[in-house]
Amino acid sequence: MVDSTYITEKTEQQLLTLTEALASGILNEAEDMLHSLHPAEIAHLLESLPADDRLSIWPLISKALEAEVLINLGDEIRHGLIKDMSPQQLVKVAENLEVDDSADFVQSLPDTIIDQVLHSLDSQHRKLLESVLSFPENSAGGMMNTDTITVRPEVSLDVVLRYLRLRGEIPKQTDHLIVIDRDSHYLGVLPLSQLLINEPEKFVLDIMDNKVTAIPSDMEDNKIAMMFQDLDLISAPVVDGNNMLLGRITVDDVVDVIRDEADHSVLSRAGLTDEDLFAPVLPSARRRAIWLGINLLTAFLASWVVSNFEDTLERVVTVAILMNVVASMGGIAGSQTITLVIRSMALGQLSRSNRWWVFNKEVMVGLFNGIIWAAVVAGIASLWFNDLSVGLVIAAALIINLIFAAASGVAIPIILKKLHIDPAIAGSVILTTITDIVGLLAFLGLATVFLL
């Protein structure tokens, strides 16, 4: 395993070299360093620099590496670098990428120049690219590469080996050849390991594996990632509805999907989307303002609920001291449930057949935890204020809120998904509002009835 401390120190040293070169105006050392790095490493360095410094460093990058560097950058940073590039330069970038990466790159271009770039490509490259672009970006068809090596079942292994030698090279991440019939229907795969260890006189049909399931072109990327993980795949063929071979997906494409999902999961907890750390102040503020505004509205809603119990708060001071306990406990319990449910939805584990079981189970968990912590809180409150009735009221409110939080934690993501709203982004805000309001209503309502 690579030492992450070493990687961090190495990156810091590289960043220091770049910043010192920019400050001194002597860029030779920085240029030499960039030429020795992998495109992904260069992309990481660019993402760690302010926007103006990126523009100064970009001309130092070898033309041969530009395409690979651009495809490894986040969308926002890539847009900042390509906005001043000519259509001819963009065409050259697209031509130097594999078809799947080229499709991702073209899709990230402004709509005004996509057609111009496509029409400037050679006919073969354009045809392959358009076949990928015809599918949704997050589908198997949109992820696939067309660099497949196909063989027929009736040929001998000797013919296959001679064919591979004539090709001179095979595509990256090739662990098997794809077997098709004369009409390009998918039949199975020929693992390279079997090709090498079997007698040349044998036929492909004799040793091919016809149990490897091809990926439908409309399968979503997160399901593809799970399939690769569950089956330990390196690559997999992609077919259309008629079982015609279209291309293949490789594990490096799946790693990108997993990373994007992880980034989305982390950012969505704060209501954020992918954002450049060094983006200008105004665009960053604008993106974050929406969720801050929504949160402000929910805070006012909770405050309005409290204002309806003004008389109770004035006459029973202990209520004002303890009311945040109920709301806070409900928020934590609900966030635990909603996180579990959203993860289960992403993994395809939650379905119509089991969601009621999950709902009932989470409600019982909420009830169980509610009873346990209600007893703890009731004891503390009773001793603190020397009043058993205060302890019983907060205990009852806590049980109600934890049950409601658990139920909401299951229901909210399911409802949001039906409405085609991302539960990971919107779910937490809605859940917090519900648990705050229910917790305050339960506690203040019970206090009004039993403590006044």
Is the backbone of residue 86 left (phi > 0), alpha (psi -120 to 50) or beta? beta
The answer to whether residue 2 scores a pLDDT higher than 70 is no
What local confidence, expressed as pLDDT, does residue 367 receive? 96
For residue 416, the 8-state DSSP code is H
Residue 351 banded pLDDT, cuts 50, 70, 90: confident
For residue 213, the 8-state DSSP code is P
What local confidence, expressed as pLDDT, does residue 273 receive? 58
CA separation, residue 204 to residues 155, 176, 180, 201 (Å):
6, 12, 11, 10
Among 199, 179, 444, 186, which Cα is nearest to 324's? Answer: 444
Residue 279 banded pLDDT, cuts 50, 70, 90: low
pLDDT (mean) for 35-41: 88
CA separation, residue 123 to residues 107, 130, 247, 312 (Å):
18, 10, 18, 77
Contact 333, 369 (CB under 8 A): yes
Q: What whole-number distance in Å separates Cα of residue 62 and Cα of residue 66? A: 6
Residues in the chain: 452
pLDDT (mean) for 67-83: 84
Q: What whole-number distance in Å separates Cα of residue 32 and Cα of residue 22? A: 14
**pLDDT tens digits, 389-403:** 999 999 999 999 999
Q: What whole-number distance in Å separates Cα of residue 102 and Cα of residue 65? A: 14
Lowest mean pLDDT among 120-124, 299-303, 328-332: 120-124
β-strand 150-151 against 176-180: which pairing, if any? parallel
**pLDDT tens digits, 363-383:** 999 999 999 999 999 999 999
What local confidence, expressed as pLDDT, does residue 5 receive? 46
The answer to whether residue 408 scores a pLDDT higher than 90 is yes
pLDDT (mean) for 71-94: 82
The answer to whether residue 332 scores a pLDDT higher than 60 is yes
- At 188, which helix (H) or strand (E)? strand 186-191
The answer to whether residue 306 scores a pLDDT higher than 60 is yes
Give the largest Cα separation in the chain, rounded.
95
Q: What whole-number distance in Å separates Cα of residue 275 and Cα of residue 403? A: 36
Residue 239 banded pLDDT, cuts 50, 70, 90: very high
Which domains are present in the chain? 4-143 (1.25.60.10), 150-248 (3.10.580.10), 281-450 (1.10.357.20)
**pLDDT tens digits, 415-424:** 998 988 888 7
**pLDDT tens digits, 143-170:** 998 889 999 999 999 999 999 999 888 8
The answer to whether residue 213 scores a pLDDT higher than 70 is yes
pTM: 0.68
| Opening angle at CA 195, ends 189 and 197, nearest 5 | 140
Lowest mean pLDDT among 203-217, 225-239, 300-314: 300-314
Residue 1 banded pLDDT, cuts 50, 70, 90: very low
Query: For the chain, what is the mean pLDDT?
Result: 86
Q: Crossing angle for the helix pair 317-346 and 388-418, nearest 10 degrees? A: 30
Q: What whole-number distance in Å separates Cα of residue 164 and Cα of residue 189? A: 15
Residue 282 banded pLDDT, cuts 50, 70, 90: confident
| Alpha carbon of residue 383 to chain centroid | 48
Helical H runs in 269-350? 281-307, 310-315, 317-346
Dihedral angle over CA of 117, 120, 122, 127, nearest 10 = 50
Q: What whole-number distance in Å separates Cα of residue 167 and Cα of residue 284? A: 50
